[in-house]
Amino acid sequence: MNNYQTDPSSSTAERISLSWVEKKGFAHWGLALLWLLLMFLLSQIIVAVVAVVYLLVTGEATTVQELLSAVNSRLDVLFLGNSAGQILCFALATLLITRLHTASESKRSFLRMTWTSHTPRYMLLAIPLILVIQPTIMFLGYLNSFLPVPDIMAEMQQNQYQMFEDFLRQDGVLLLGLFHIALVPAFAEEILFRGYIFRAFEKSKGVIGGLIFSSLIFALFHLQLTNILPLATLGAVMGLLTWVSGSIWPAVVAHFINNGSAVVVGSYMPDTAFADLTPETLPSLWMLGLSIILTAVLVRIILYNSNYQLKE
């Protein structure tokens, strides 16, 4: 229950300042989870619709059989549909639902889509941070491989990896890969997860709770249980960047560098990029140790330079 319902002595100004979610007695995090489920379903529908419309308009498929065959084989069309779904659902539609969580606060402020004189500093710090943590992320992926995962989930992730590999092994797809796999997710997913989901859980569970839950949800959303540890860790890093900077833009940079570097390596060294994680393919122990130390140093620098959230 919120104060609007339980405290008859509250002032008119306080009542008016409550958001729609609070006036209705809903939990911010509950609405966020419902919205996330809806966005997942709608984005998948958009992927299918965009793919079918594109194939029909271009004349590449005229029958149902041809459509089914083309949708399964034309990876560029699937990536086009996926980017459209992320832009329309994860980014634009989330901007609309955010209004239900805000009162006097603007949507841009709620989502931390703000820019201050300190923002470029954190954006620059995000680049080395996301690069030096990569050996640690790989090691976490290796540890994750020992966790039991349902066969259907393991097969689903393997199909995802195979789709990325098939796409990046094609000639002349580097720029398309950077756009569909790095640029669009960097903006759309950060608006959804570090902007909306993190903020909604923060209002209900506090900053630490928001950081933990948003990171886990980010990992689970990708439907990659065999990769949940590295994904959750990356989500936590990008959440930390968002919190201490008061802006999602450093996390956008970190997300782009993480995905973009994978696209570049996958395009020029696919055998290395898509090799199974084994003790032989993992970074050496000294690289892992150096990665952990440098990551800790950079996190310490970021916290030291953090804005008012950590100093009050």
Domain residues for the domain of 244 are 3-310
The pLDDT score that the predictor gives to residue 245 is 92
The pLDDT score that the predictor gives to residue 307 is 54
**CA separation for the pair 84, 14 (Å, rounded):** 40
How crowded is the C-beta side of 302, counted as CA atoms within 13 Å? 29
**CA separation for the pair 146, 138 (Å, rounded):** 14
Q: What angle do CA 31, 85, 255 make, to 5 degrees?
A: 80
| Tokens encoding 5 | 């319902």
Measured from the Cβ of residue 222, the count of other Cβ atoms closer than 10 Å reads: 14
Domain count, the chain: 1
DSSP 226: G
Q: Which residue, 197, 170, 156, 164, is CA-closest to 182?
A: 164
How would you write the pLDDT of the chain (312 residues) with one tens digit per residue?
344 344 443 344 444 568 888 876 678 889 999 999 999 999 999 998 998 888 888 888 778 887 877 777 788 888 999 999 999 999 999 999 998 888 777 889 999 999 988 899 999 999 999 999 999 999 999 999 888 888 888 887 888 888 888 888 888 889 999 999 999 999 999 999 999 999 999 998 999 999 999 999 999 998 888 889 999 999 999 999 999 999 999 999 999 999 999 999 988 888 887 877 788 788 899 999 999 999 999 999 998 877 545 444
Nearby residues of 21 by Cβ (< 8 Å), 6 or more positions away: 27, 28, 31, 100, 101
Side chain identity at 27, as an amino acid letter?
A: A
Q: Crossing angle of helices 134-144/119-132, nearest 10°?
A: 50
**CA separation for the pair 291, 131 (Å, rounded):** 9
**CA separation for the pair 192, 244 (Å, rounded):** 18
Cβ atoms of 24 and 65 within 8 Å: the answer is no
Q: In Å, how far are 18, 187, 190, 203, 219 from 28, measured between CA atoms?
A: 12, 22, 18, 7, 20
> Structure pTM?
0.89
